[in-house]
Copies of this chain bind each other. A is one copy, B any other.
Amino acid sequence: MRCVVTEGLLEKQVRHFEEELVALQGRLLEMGGLAEERVRAAVEGLVSRDPALIERALGGDEPINELHIEVDNRCFRLLALYQPMATDLRAIVAAVKINTDLERVGDLAVNIAEAATRYITHAPVKKLIDIPQMGAIAQSMLRDALDAFVRRDTALAHQVLNEDDQLDALKTKIFRELLTFMIEDPTTVEPALDLVLISRHLERIGDHATNIAEDVIFMVSALDVRHHASEPGGG
């Protein structure tokens, strides 16, 4: 296809595209902030046994859901109107994927809050130290992954990938410890099981941050990733 475009028009197109891309990134950061806030409320509510805090993580789906639809629409519009190529195209496709990841993080905060609601109806199984630490790591991974996306910073993205190992190690430690409690004292089975599930939800939040970090690396340096691909592909 040969296209006839005047120079002025093209410049204007490029400027509009970049403005819209910045707006899109802003929406994703906003969504990430909301998701992170819900995770924090759920974990803090669990640790402090505060039903009001837990309630904050349970309710208020709408802002994230609305942003989810808005971001998807913005991505479709950018693809349809500007037909971006190379890094710009990969950035939009990354935004589509990141949008999905962030919505899931919001859902996982709800899952944590649901388990926390059950947990605080029982006597505490133990002093919670590793779970809030997992929460802190997962939140910081999420924040770093989104910063890496906006700044196109692959070093930061690689850092996120490394942090995931800490999360896995804590999950395994928590699992073993709670298993011992459950076997030794049947009254701990129910609440300990909820802590196991919460640690799995936090691990999955880390997985979503990892997905975002991998998308950033692909977006910035497509060739590195495609080196292992069976087909060269375009873009």
Residue ranges of A at the interface with B (Cβ–Cβ < 8 Å):
1-5, 9, 13, 66, 69-70, 72-77, 79-81, 83, 85-86, 89-90, 93, 96-97, 100, 179, 182-184, 186, 189-190, 193, 196-197, 200, 211, 225-226, 228-235
Contact = CB atoms under 8 A, between A and B. Distances in A.
Contact of A182 (B5, B93, B189): B189
Contact of A93 (B76, B81, B200): B76
- The 4 A-B pairs with the shortest beta carbon distances in the complex, nearest first, are A73-B233, A76-B235, A77-B234, A83-B83
Nearest to A103: B211
Contacts of A186: 182-184, 186
A228 B189 contact: no
21 contacts: A1-B5, A3-B4, A4-B4, A69-B226, A69-B231, A70-B229, A70-B231, A72-B233, A73-B233, A74-B231, A74-B233, A76-B93, A76-B234, A77-B233, A79-B93, A79-B235, A179-B193, A182-B182, A182-B189, A182-B193, A186-B186
Nearest to A3: B3
Copies of this chain per assembly = 2
A16 to B, nearest CB: 12
A88 to B, nearest CB: 10
B80 A89 contact: yes
Contacts of A228: 69
Contact of A1 (B9, B70, B75, B100): B9
Contact of A179 (B9, B74, B189, B200): B189
A32 B13 CA distance: 39
